[in-house]
Amino acid sequence: MRTRQFAERAALSAALSLSLLGLGTTTAAADTSTSLPISSYRDMAVDAAHQQVFLSDPFGDSVLVTDYTGQVVKQIGGEAGAWGVALSSDSRTLYVALRDAGAIAAIDTATLQETARYDTGTGAGAYAGPTSLALAGGKIWFGYSTDTWHGALGSLDLSGPQPVVTRDQGLDTFRGAPHLAATPQDPDTLVAAESDGNAASLAVYDVSTGRADAQARRVDPGPDGCASLQDLALTPDAARVVVACASPYYHQAFRTADLSDDGRYTTSHYPNSVAVAPDGTIAAGINGASSPDVYLFPQGDSTAFHTWDFPASSPYTTNTLQSGGLAWAPDGSRIFAVTEDSGSSSLSLQVLNHPQVDTTVTVRAPASSPRNQDLTLNGKLVAPVGFGTGSTVDIWRLDDPLAGEGTMIGSATVAADGTFSYTDRPRAKGAVQYTVQYYGDARHAYAYGSVTVDITSD
């Protein structure tokens, strides 16, 4: 009972301290939904530097820009067949695949003006122009169709005095323009997957030499195949690729080293979207009317820890996620989702704030320790999602558990895997209780853990 009372007082004290500092207690922000002035959608990029979201509007020949709440900032016109988008590593430039212009446009993210346009030499239109973009190996890679039955990879190199386009790579792999995926942590790995055809083709390339050197290929991957591939995303370390295929009715993962099966994420009918946060949390979406629309998974865990179901405008309509319609904010604080209402065919941007997840604290220490000697506490925070840089825990010491009051003696930094340690030098003999408090953040709930050590004579 004393321990419980101490923890309750400590939690109240922490909340009061945060309020006095003007920080307030951590509460989850409400999700929002905003109607969009576009009637088509293909791809999305999130700009953390300016807190903007870019959405391609291929049949409206535009790129729509919103803020983090979904409010429209600008609609950039004149972008013929705006399809895939990719943001530069410094967030200064948005690159847009213009399928119907056979080109790649560069848009300044500060001025929201097109600053350059590069001809890909592919021709333009549905079975020619570029449709997907990824930044890897110091180049801009694009997927395109060579005709109605074949696809290929190309690259745009802007590092020299003149832009250099290289085409016709991966010619023996794809039956349509491939989707592309890359990650900044492993910039020399490029993954491509066919977007057309009944059975998808998946390939991994090393692009460090400037060419797409195939490392692994697989047709119709997975134990149940992969029909009508809709989306793919790499884990931050590029060790795994997660794909969304209309069938089977789950999201599946593959090792990029050899494209061998590496588990599944249990979702439901018609998977169509996937996005991976910087900490590895996986958002998996489906185009199903009767199931949750978006699922959140810890990396490597097949059980979702949170779901969203988008409400429809009426009992007779549905509000469904668009193919490739998920993107994370780079800090992992929220997910952006593009949905369509079946009654009006209107598109909306859903802003889904990351839920606060349950967190536990374990603390370990020797059963006994001499007084006036170093005593090290080791512990770990455990939650479905990782802990960001700068997370800390506070350590309280209660020299007499019956007294019911304790003293905060210090803080410890939490590592990315949730571990922490703290060394104390207790002076009082007898049972000493240590309580570790974690005050939580936007993604983690408050938690505490305690351990008691018998402090003996010197």
Return the structure tokens found at 102.
Answer: 């056979």
Would you mind telling me the total number of residues written for the chain in this entry? 458
Q: State residue 19 phi and psi, 5-degree precision.
A: -65, -40
- Please state which CATH number belongs to domain 2-25+357-456: 2.60.40.730
- For the chain, give every domain's residue range: 2-25+357-456, 32-353
Alpha-carbon gap, residue 330 to 337, rounded angstroms: 15
How confident is the model over 230-263, as pLDDT tens digits? 999 999 999 999 999 999 999 999 999 999 999 9
- Using alpha carbons, select from 271, 153, 276, 248 the residue that is nearest to residue 203: 153
> Mind listing the pLDDT tens digit for each residue in 47-77?
999 999 999 999 999 999 999 999 999 999 9
User: Which of 90-94, 145-149, 309-313, 428-432 bottoms out in mean pLDDT, i.e. has the lowest?
Assistant: 309-313
Q: Measure the CA–CA gap between 376 and 41, rounded to whole angstroms.
A: 55
Give the mean model confidence (pLDDT) for residues 2-7.
41
Q: Are 63 and 82 in contact (CB under 8 A)?
A: yes
122 phi and psi angles, rounded to 5 deg? -90, -10
Tell me the pLDDT tens digit for each residue of 343-366.
788 999 999 999 999 999 999 999
Tokens at residue 45, please?
A: 């990029």
DSSP annotation string for 378-406 = EEEEE-SS---TT-EEEEEEES-TTT---
Taking the C-alpha atoms of residue 200 and residue 271, their distance in angstroms, rounded to an integer, is 14
DSSP secondary structure string for all residues of 253-279: EEETTT--EEEEE---SSEEEEEE-TT
> pTM of this prediction?
0.86
Summary count for the chain: helices (H), strands (E): 1, 36
> What torsion do the CA atoms of 283, 317, 81, 52 make, to the nearest 10 degrees?
-50
The residue behind tokens 């973009």 is: 133
Asked if 215 and 191 touch (Cβ cutoff 8 Å), the reply is no
Q: Which of 110-114, 150-154, 441-445 has the lowest mean pLDDT?
A: 441-445
pLDDT at 390 over 50: yes
User: What is the signed CA dihedral for 76, 77, 83, 84, rounded to 10 degrees?
Assistant: -30
pLDDT of 403: 65
Within 10 Å of residue 27's Cβ, how many Cβ atoms?
Answer: 8
- The CA-based angle 85-80-127, given to 5 degrees, is 85
Mean pLDDT of 219-233: 94
Which listed CATH number (3.30.2320.50, 2.130.10.10, 1.10.8.60, 1.10.167.10) goes with 32-353? 2.130.10.10
* Sheet strands (E) in 137-200: 139-147, 150-157, 164-174, 178-181, 189-194
In contact, 192 and 178? CB cutoff 8 Å:
yes
* Gap between the Cα atoms of 237 and 185, Å rounded: 6
